Amino acid sequence: MFVSVLVSSSLSVGDVVTFSTVDQKWVISSANPTSIFGVLKTAPDSANISQVIFKGIAWAKCSDVIPDEGGHLNIQNGGVIIGSDNNLGLISPNVYEGTARDAGDLVMVYL
């Protein structure tokens, strides 16, 4: 599920975002949010509107190396990392004979 929303102009595809009540738009998420979060599906257009996925499968940027087995999703610096079970979602395992998934790469996640 995605919704078109107003986002910060500095965002790019795969960034993890949360809503800023101060700025009244979706901005980069620095850590595990306590409220709703999503993943940018499209880059912001000229009006800073982007499609953001809030539930389901998305391609998110990783903030660190992701092991081949995947794991529980945590958020750090606008990207996903492996962490403890906190019901935020899952990072998928790597595909058979896939290349290493390093910081900045897009990985499949389930929100």
CATH number at residue 77: 2.40.300
Q: Name the residue range of residue 1's domain.
A: 1-111
User: What's the rounded mean pLDDT across residues 2-22?
Assistant: 96
Amino acid at 85: D
User: For residue 80, is pLDDT > 90?
Assistant: yes
> What count of other Cβ atoms lies within 10 Å of the Cβ of residue 81?
19
Joined together, the tokens standing for residue 22 give 């101060």
Domain count across the chain: 1
Q: What's residue 102's pLDDT?
A: 96
Q: What ranges in 1-100 are assigned the alpha helix state H?
A: none
Amino acid at 74: N
User: What's the rounded mean pLDDT across residues 23-50?
Assistant: 94
Q: What percent of the chain has pLDDT over 70?
A: 100
User: What's the rounded mean pLDDT across residues 13-42?
Assistant: 94
